Amino acid sequence: MTWHAKALQSSYVTRPGAGAHGHVETEGAFPFATASWYFVDALDMMAPQSAAAVVAFGDSITDGTA
């Protein structure tokens, strides 16, 4: 399984085969809407050392389906 079909919100994705566009800040790079979530294969972030974050990975219970 590589995706969660019922995310209950819109996500926007690139064209198939378009490659990585995480650095692009314009909507033109993400022309397609989907109601699915795709599993993360990498995460890269920069934040001040004093910053805190909570990340939740899980199934439909995590995203609020029940």
Q: What is the pLDDT of residue 31?
A: 93
* Whole-model pTM over 0.75: no
CB contact at 8 A, 19 and 56: no
Tens of pLDDT along the chain (66 residues) come to 577 777 778 888 899 899 888 889 888 999 999 988 887 777 777 889 999 888 776 666 666 665
- Residue 44 domain boundaries: 1-66
Distance in Å from the first CA to the final CA of the chain: 20
Domain count within the chain: 1
Quote the CA–CA distance of 41 and 22 in Å, as a whole number.
13
